[in-house]
Structure 1
Amino acid sequence: MTTLLPRVETMVGVLYFALFAMSFDFVSGYTGYLSFGHAAFYGTGAYLVVLAANGKLPLLGAETPFVLLLVLGGLLALLLALLIGAVSFRLTGVYFAMITLGFSQVLYVFVRDWDFVGSNPRDGIAVTGRTTGFEIGVPGVDALNLAIGQLSGDEIEGLLGFVSLSTTEVSYYMVGLVVLVCYFAMQRIIHSPFGRVMVAIRENEERAEAVGYDTFRYKLGAFAISAFFAAVAGGLFAGFRRSATPENAFFFLVAGDALLAAIIGGFGTLAGPLYGRLFDETVREFLSKAGEGGGLLPYLQSQLGEATLSTVVYDGLTVGEAIDTFLNGHAALYVGLLFVLFVLYVPNGMVGTVRDRLGGRVAERLPAALGRRFDR
C-alpha cells in the first residue's frame, strides 16, 4: 500500500496546490474564462509571507500571525486581480487567456529582477527572520495554534491516549483544515445567487446580459475572489516550504499545473482539482526514481531476484537495465500520456464523469445510489 500512496509530505503539497487549482477552477470552470496568469496571485501570497517573516514589509514583523498574513496576501491579490481584470475582461476567449498570461509574465520578470527581495532574486527568497514555524489557528490563543513546516517543532504525542503525530503530519492536518474552510467558502459562493450568474455567464453570456445582469462586474468579482484563495494557497506553500522562487510561484507553468489538475479531476466541479492533483502526484511518486517515494522502480528492484534482473531480454539489455531505462526519471512523460488519454476519453474528468453517471452532484446522488444498492 505504501508503494501506491504518496508520502505525507507529498500530501501536504497536494493540499495547498489543490487549493490553488480550485481557485483557478472557480473562475475558469464556472465563468468559462481561462486565467492563464493565475500564478501571479499564487506568487503574491507566497512572497508576502516570506517578506513579512523576514521583516521587510512595513507594519508586518516576523511575529505577525500567519493567519493574518494569509488574509493580507489574499486581499493584496484581490486588489491586483481587480486591476488586471479591469483590463483583461474587455477581451474574451483566447485573448483573455493570453492577456492574463502576459500580466503574469510581467510580474514574474519583475520579481526575478527585484533586488528588494534579496541579493540574488533569481534564486528566490527564504525565511531568515523567523526561527519558529508558521502557526495556524486562533491568533493570540496558544492552545489553539499549531505550526506547519518541517522546522515547526510541533509534535503531538498520545493524542486521545494513543495517537501520535509527527511535525509533518501536524502540517498535513492544519493545512488541510485551511483548505477545507476555503473549499466550503467557495462552494457557498458558487451555490449562491452570485454563483448562479457565474454559471449563466459560462453557458450563455449574451443571454445573461439580455436578462439584465452586468456580466463585467460579476466576472471581475469572480476573478477577485479566485485571486484571494489563490494567494492563500501560495501563503500555505511558502509557510510550509519556508521559501519561494519566481519559478515555483510566479511562472506561468504553475497555472499550467492547475489546469492539468482541473482537467483530470473535472473542470467546473471545484472538488475535481483536488482529485486531479492527487492523481497527478500519485502517478509521479509511483513512477519516481529510487529513494524518492518508494515507487514502482525501487519496488521492482527489491522484489525481483538478481537472476531475473540480470536476464538479457534483447541485444544485451537486461531486465534490470530495461526497468531503469523506462522508469527512472520518466514520470513526467507518463503523466503527459495519461493527460492526453483523459482529454480524449474522459473529457469531463474524474469527478465530472462520476457526476454524469450518477445524474447529479456526487454529494447528493452517491449516498442515495449506495442506499439503493444495499437495499437490494
Structure 2
Amino acid sequence: MIVYAIIGVIGICLLFAPMLFPDVRSQEVAARICIFIVLVASYDLLIGYTGIVSFAHTMFFGLGAYGTAIALRQMGPGWDAVLLGGALGLLASLILAALIGLLSLRVKAIFFAMVTLAAASVMAVMASQFSDFTGGEDGIIYKVPKLFSPATKLLTDDDGKVLRIFGAKANGKMAAYYFVFFGSLILYFIMLRIVASPLGTVLEAIRENEMRAEALGYRVVLYRTAIFCIAALIAACAGILRALWLKYTGPETSLSFAIMIDILLMVVIGGMGTMTGAIIGATLMSLAQFYLKDLMEIASQATAGIPLLPDLLAPDRWLLWLGILFILLVYFFPAGIVGTLSKRGGH
C-alpha cells in the first residue's frame, strides 16, 4: 500500500503539474520525470526482467530525438516532419538493436555490455562529427508544430484572452506538456502489458536460468533480441517526446553517457524488475538533481552561525551529498525502494 500511495501522489502531481507548478522550471522537471519514467522502465525491461546489461540505451533515445530534430529543421515545424523524423529514428533504432542483438547477445554479459558501450560511443562521436546534419557539439535548435507554441491559445474568453485553468494558461506550453504526459503514460502501459504477458514470464525465466529456459525449448537469443528491440523502440519514442518538449537536441541532452548513468541510478533506486520502481526512481533522482542545490543553499544560510556546517552544506557540494544520499538509499533499500518495501509487506 505504501508503494501505491507514493505512486498515486506522484501521478496526481504529474497530471496536474501545469496547475500546481506553473513556473517554467517546475514544468521542465515534471516533463523530464515523465520522459525518464519511460526511459528507465524500458531499460528495466532489459536489466531487471531479462538480465541484459546494456550501455546503448541512450543511443536509441538519441536516435529518436535526432531523427525528429533533423526533420523539423529541414522540413519546417509540421506534423509531417514529426512523423517522418520520428519514423526514421524508430527504424534506425530497430535495425541497430536487431543487429547488435543477433550478433552480440550470444556472448557473455560483460562482452555484450562492452559491445553496447562501443556502439553508444561511436554514435556520440558521429553526432559530434556530422555537424552539417546534427549541429555538432552545439546541437540543433528548431521550431515545433504550432500547437506547441507558447503563443498558441487553446482556450480563450470573450475578449480573446487566454483562459486560465486553476491559474495556468491554456496555451501551447500546456498542450506540449500534456502531449508528453499522455505519450509517456501510453508507453508505460504498453510496458506493463508486456511484463504481464507470457513474453514477460519467459523473460523472467531467461533471467533466472538461461540454460533451463533453453532446455525447455525457448530460443533464448531470439527472445533476448526481441526485448532488446522493443526496449530500443520505446527509448526512441521517449527521445521523440524529449525533442518536441525541449525544441533543442544535442549530444548532452540525448546521447551523453551521464544520461546512461542517471538511468542506471534510477533503476537501482526504484528497484530492478519492478515497473513501479521506474516511477519512484526517476522522480527522486530528477528532484534531487534540480532542487538539492537550492535546499543546500537554504540549509547553509540557516546554519551560518555554526562552525563547518555552512561549508559542508555549500551548494557547490551538492554532488557529494547526492552521492551520500544514494549510498544511504542502497544501504537501507538494498533491493531498491519498491523491491525492499514489497519484501517488508509495504506493497
TM-score by length of 2: 0.82
Which digits, 9 at most, give the CA deviation of each residue in 1:118-159, with x for residues without a partner? 5x51221121xx3644xxxxxxxxxxxx53xx7463555689
1:188 counterpart letter in structure 2: R
C-alpha distance in 1 between matches for 2:139 and 2:212 = 46
Where does the alignment leave 5 or more consecutive residues of structure 1 unmatched?
134-145, 290-294, 363-376
CA separation of 1:354 and 1:170: change in aligned 2, threshold 3 A: farther
Query: Is 1:153 matched with 2:152?
Result: yes
Distance 1:73 1:65 in 2: 12
Give the C-alpha shift of residue 345 in structure 1.
2.8
2:310 and 2:32 map into 1 onto residues whose CA distance is 28
Residues in 2 aligned to 1:164 and 1:26: alpha-carbon distance in whole angstroms: 39
The within-5 A match list for 1:227-246 is 227-246=232-251
For structure 1, which segment, 343-352 or 192-201, has the greater mean C-alpha deviation from structure 2 after superposition? 343-352
Q: Which residue matches 1:30?
A: 49
Equivalent of 1:343 in 311, 315, 330: 330
| Structure 2 counterpart SS, 1:17 | helix
Q: Which structure has greater strand proportion?
A: 1
The correspondence of residues 143-292 of structure 1 with structure 2, limited to 5 A, is: 147=148, 151=150, 153-154=152-153, 156=155, 163=166, 165-166=168-169, 167-289=172-294
Letter of the 1:225 counterpart: I
Equivalent pair of 2:90/2:236 in contact (CA under 8 Å): yes
Question: In the comparison of the two structures, how many residue pairs are matched?
Answer: 321
Q: Which has the higher helix share?
A: 2
Q: Sort the Cα spacing of 1:38 and 1:161 in 2 relative to 1 into closer, same or farther, 3 A.
A: closer
Are residues 1:297 and 2:297 paired? yes
Report the equivalent of 2:343: 356
Following TM superposition, by how much is the alpha carbon of 1:72 offset from its aligned partner in structure 2, in angstroms? 4.6
Equivalent residue number for residue 373 of structure 1:
none
Q: Pick closer, same or farther for the CA change 1:101–1:162 going to 2, 3 Å.
A: closer
Q: CA contact under 8 A between 2:37 and 2:278: conserved in structure 1?
A: yes
Q: Secondary structure at the match of 2:274?
A: coil
Letter paired with 1:237: R
Q: Give yes or no for the alignment of 1:104 onto 2:120.
A: yes
TM-score normalised by the chain length of structure 1: 0.76
Report if aligned partners of 2:42, 2:235 keep a CA contact under 8 Å in 1: yes
Counterpart check, 1:85 vs 2:88: no
Kindly state the Cα deviation for residue 299 of structure 1 after the two structures are TM-superposed: 7.4
* Aligned sequence identity (%): 33
C-alpha distance in 2, partners of 1:31/1:272? 16
List alignment gaps of at least 5 residues for structure 2. 1-12, 14-19
Q: Aligned to 2:131, which of 90, 98, 115?
A: 115
Q: Structure 1 residues 79 and 279, CA, compared in 2 at 3 Å: closer, same or farther?
A: same
**1:88 offset after TM fit, Å?**
2.0
Q: Which moved more, 1:339-348 or 1:220-229?
A: 339-348
Q: Shift of the alpha carbon at 1:61?
A: 7.8
Partner of 1:42: 61
Could you report, residue by residue, the CA deviation over 1:258-310 in whole angstroms, capped at 9, with x for unpaired residues? Answer: 11111101111122122111111222333224xxxxx4524774xx5xxx84x
CA contact (8 A) 1:261 1:277 kept: yes
User: 1:17 offset after TM fit, Å?
Assistant: 1.8
RMSD: 3.1
SS of alignment partner, residue 119 of structure 2: helix
* Aligned mates of 2:71, 2:86 — CA distance in 1: 11
2:155 and 2:177 mapped to 1: Cα distance?
13
Inter-partner Cα distance in structure 1 for 2:33 and 2:50: 25
Q: Determine if the alignment matches structure 1 residue 51 to structure 2 residue 38.
A: no
* Cα distance in 2, alignment partners of residues 256 and 271 from structure 1: 19
Q: Report the more deviating stretch, 264-273 or 221-230.
A: 264-273
Q: Computing the radius of gyration over CA atoms, which structure comes out larger, 1 or 2?
A: 1
Provide the secondary structure at the position in 2 that maps to 1:112: helix
Q: Deviations over 1:21-58 (max 9, x none)?
A: 111111111110111111110000010010010126xx
TM-fit CA distance, 1:63: 4.0
What whole-Å deviation, never above 9, does each CA across 1:37-93 have from its counterpart, x for those lacking one? 11110000010010010126xxx9844164665455333312221112122202122
Residues in 1 aligned to 2:163 and 2:196: alpha-carbon distance in whole angstroms: 37
Return closer, same or farther for 1:67/1:151 CA change in 2, 3 Å cut-off: farther
